[in-house]
A and B are shown apart, each in its own frame.
Chain A
Amino acid sequence: MAGVFDGLKVVDFTWAAAGPIITKQLADNGATVIKVESRRHPDSIRLGGPFIADKPGINRSGFFADFNSSKLGIALDLARKDAIQIVEPLVRWADIVAESFRPGIMQQWGIGYETLREINPRVVMLSSSLYGADGPWARHPGYGAQGAALSGLHALTGWPDRPPAIPKGAYSDSVSPRFGAAALVAALIHREKTGEGQHIELSQIETTAQLVAPQLLQLQHDGVEAQRAGNRKTDSILHGVYPCSGNERWIAIEIETEPQWRSLLDVLNDSNLSEARRQSIDALDTAVAIATRRRDAFALMSELRTVGVPAGVAFTGSDLLEDPVLRARGHFWPLEHSEMGTLAYNGPAYRFEATPSRLTRPAPLLGEHTDEVLKDVLGFSDDEIARFHASGLLQ
């Protein structure tokens, strides 16, 4: 069955997380995505763990692998002037060129949007960066954790009597790809209807700040500035994360209605809860924590679900891999990599009924498909390819 992007051609200069997660959506849905790196400038997360067998290596990072399924990989030193011999036919071939360098780098290499457009007027170029292409901080390097800090999410996470707790991960790297993919596909739709290409500029912090849009409005209208409040949520009867039996086992429970409250009482079967609710939210939290402490988290979640109470075990990484829901959903894709063996890659969060997504291959070794792409996609002869190799361009 055809994927939604069958036939789409993508040159992928992106690196780290935010950019590659966007191009992964294209690759996992049928597009031909050619990822361009070099030994001098490999994708930086090839250098970040976890490494297979705990041994660092350029082709050994699971962190890198997960974001680069279904892509072809070529090695090309973009910092060299003669790289244009290969970049130009690549761009002429492409429908999309994606990059996530610091603003100004592509122009420095002579392959900014204006140049690409001269080569291929229909091309859609996506430039993703942490701060955006202009403004006082545009050239400042950084990662998604700085993005979470600057967009307000970090300050809203944690306990009011403690410093803000870090939201796990380079959080803005996981927000901007959703927005970026929407903008990119909208531009493709526009191109399909009008023939017009264009350049999309995306800033991680501006996409991530969308998540605090209501709080920004509240500040302006009421003068009330939202604060971190642990797990407190005032419009629910009960909302918290409670201990269960075992080491570091926790269950989140939220009660929004009186029928749910009565169901919770039935399941927990603890006569202290109603009185605690009358006393205070703190007293209720304490009483619920006592009632859950000897329960098995998974069994309790199952009991609560059965009676319509929203409840969820705080899953660990291994819980996710064993979760019956994610398994039934086919979330994880086992893919065999020549150096890393078989690993379960994360697949998309959406399902197309008629055109299913498909992870077709593991992440590429650095330069794994260089000769194949130069020959079969770009039409260079064996002699020309040998000459490029000899000159050191394809490293």
Chain B
Amino acid sequence: MTAQIGDKPVPACALAGVRVLELSYFAAAVAGRTLSSLGAEVIKIEPPGGELARLRSPCARLEDGSQLSYDWLAFNVGKRSVCIDLDTEQGLAAFSRLTASADIVVSDFQRLSIEESNRLAAIARSANPKMIWTEILPFGRGEPYQSYPATDTILQALGGHLFLNGDIDRPPVRIGVPVALVQGGVEAASAALMAYYHVVRGGPGQRVDISIQECIVWTLLNTTMAWQILGLTEMRGGAVRKERANRFYTRLVWHCLDGYVFFGPVGGGGGAAREKSYAALLKWMREDGFEDEILTRHEWNGDKQFDIPQEDYDAVTAVISRFISSKSTERLMTRAVAERILLAPISAIRDVFENEHFCKRGFYELIDDQTRGLTLAYPARWANLSATPLSPLLPSPSPGQDNDLLLERVETRTA
């Protein structure tokens, strides 16, 4: 199956022919972006003049002196935009016509209140019973919690993740980007597609709601099991913490010559890979003249690792620390890759941008947005589908740029 872009035939995307409407502030824009990259036609429904999220801080200053949010720029590429005033009869009629031709709607709690969502869902699902109406909510649908106020950080807290981050002598600390909203958005894309797949196979249209709190619970991986099974309340740690459900502390963040690396050389469970990694580290340390009896006093990753005293973990950490602090991140990673040592540099944003592995894999894709005078490389290729590659990136839309085209096409599609 192929389509035509310019002169070249290119394989069609997996969601070619799927139409998505997006009522978003942030999380639903992430959902829309995910669906758009898989080839869906995603139409933003914005209020007249454009949505508030276009000015969410921090903003890029454009050549014409206007500003545009980096969050917005990141998650709205490749979409269409129509501006509709949903507070008017005329606007609701246009919305109803659009929904008749759409397969999926994605919405979020920062754009629509529960009451607004109820009202618009009734219109959409009446116009199109096969519609998948997708809502991203802090706690999901249900009384009384569906209207509790929340923000990204509040949801990091209520999902149990915040408690587990940061140094023990200070308050818990959030992840410094809105992970809850992004994770909720991607989860919504995935769940909407599951429901749509069912429609394609003859199932009914339906409402799907996503709880961001539950999305965050899923980032913990073993915390609720650790409590049930061991009565263990995991505690946060900074560079040093109790890994997995351990009762002892180990260092996981290490200073090196030019930054930090993440590395769990001892006491982490996880079997053969950890044992081989530690053996490879010891080999390198010996080559460099770092010998110490403590390095081989125990099988640090063996069955008895749980019985090793804390002071021995501290002692072996001191020796390993001296070794790592004598090396650069590049040297550490080069040797790590060659010898299968389980470490990684803790990359700052510039490191991510310049990462050789990403660049060689063609991860970044340039968008030349001539309208705005912006040429930016996007972290675009998040998956490789052999028959249906991700959609090539196109600039994000200006407010209402597709009003004429889409209303005309909607009339045609639904005639």
Contact = CB atoms under 8 A, between A and B. Distances in A.
Q: Do A and B bind each other?
A: yes
Contacts of B182: 210-211
Interface in B177-218: 177, 179, 182-184, 186-191, 193-198, 200-201, 203-215, 217-218
B269 A320 contact: no
Interface string B50-88: 000000011011000000011101110000000000000
Contacts of B360: 134-136
Interface residues of A, number: 158
A343 interface: yes
B122 interface: no
A252 B157 contact: yes
Interface in A290-315: 305, 308-315
Contacts of B155: 312
A113 B387 CA distance: 13
Nearest to A224: B58
Interface string B372-387: 0010111101111111
Interface stretch (B41-49, B237-245, B405-413): B237-245
B193 A189 contact: yes
B225 A63 contact: yes
A193 interface: yes
B352 interface: yes
A267 interface: no
Interface in B123-160: 139-142, 145, 148-151, 153-160
Contacts of A65: 225
Contacts of B224: 66, 317, 320-321, 332, 344, 346
Interface stretch (A76-84, A199-207, A367-375): A199-207
Contacts of B15: 186, 189-190
B193 A182 contact: yes
Contact of B241 (A132, A155, A166, A314): A166
A109 B251 CA distance: 37
A267 to B, nearest CB: 13
B382 A350 contact: no
B139 A4 contact: no
Given A49-B245, A353-B207, A151 B347 contact: yes
Contacts of A192: 197, 200-201
- Is chain A's binding surface mostly helix, strand, loop or mixed? mixed
Contacts of A143: 270, 342
Contact of A319 (B160, B261, B358, B388): B160
B303 interface: yes
B167 A159 contact: yes
Contact of B190 (A145, A182, A200): A182
A316 B38 contact: no
Contact of B349 (A181, A212, A310, A329): A212
A219 B361 CA distance: 21
B383 A213 contact: no
B228 interface: yes
A194 B2 CA distance: 11
A185 B236 CA distance: 36
Given A250-B171, A350-B210, A320 B217 contact: yes
A104 interface: no
A213 B237 CA distance: 27
A243 B352 contact: no
A315 B158 contact: yes
Contacts of A231: 153, 171, 173-174
Given A189-B14, A326-B213, A351 B383 contact: no
Nearest to B223: A317
Contact of B173 (A48, A157, A254, A352): A157
Contacts of A166: 165, 237-239, 241, 252-253, 262
Interface in A1-49: 2, 4-5, 17, 21, 25, 29, 44-45, 47-49
Contacts of A71: none
A154 B174 CA distance: 11
A183 B383 contact: yes
A312 B150 contact: yes
B290 interface: no
Interface stretch (A50-58, A86-94, A376-384): A50-58
Nearest to A113: B386
B160 to A, nearest CB: 4
A107 interface: no
Contact of A351 (B141, B173, B219): B141
Contacts of B340: 140-141
A309 B173 contact: no
A308 B149 CA distance: 6
A112 interface: no
B170 interface: yes
B257 to A, nearest CB: 14
Interface string A132-165: 1111110111110111111111111111001111
A155 B382 CA distance: 21
B38 A183 contact: yes
A206 B171 contact: no
A218 B58 contact: yes
B356 interface: yes
Contact of B1 (A137, A167, A196, A309): A196
A49 B342 contact: no
A252 B156 contact: yes
Interface string A330-365: 011000000000011010111111110000000000
A222 interface: yes
Contact of B166 (A132, A165, A209): A165
Given A310-B149, A320-B224, A209 B358 contact: yes
Given A154-B262, A157-B173, A165-B165, A234 B160 contact: no
A90 to B, nearest CB: 21
B34 A182 contact: yes
A173 B235 CA distance: 20
Name the 9 nearest CB pairs between A and B, nearest first.
A62-B225, A317-B227, A349-B214, A168-B164, A146-B344, A198-B387, A350-B191, A186-B14, A312-B157
14 contacts: A45-B270, A134-B361, A136-B337, A155-B349, A187-B14, A205-B358, A216-B377, A221-B374, A312-B154, A312-B155, A315-B163, A316-B233, A321-B224, A331-B214
Given A145-B252, A149-B262, A159-B170, 16 more contacts: A136-B337, A141-B342, A146-B343, A153-B179, A155-B260, A155-B346, A157-B173, A163-B260, A165-B166, A165-B239, A182-B189, A198-B387, A213-B74, A248-B163, A314-B163, A321-B228
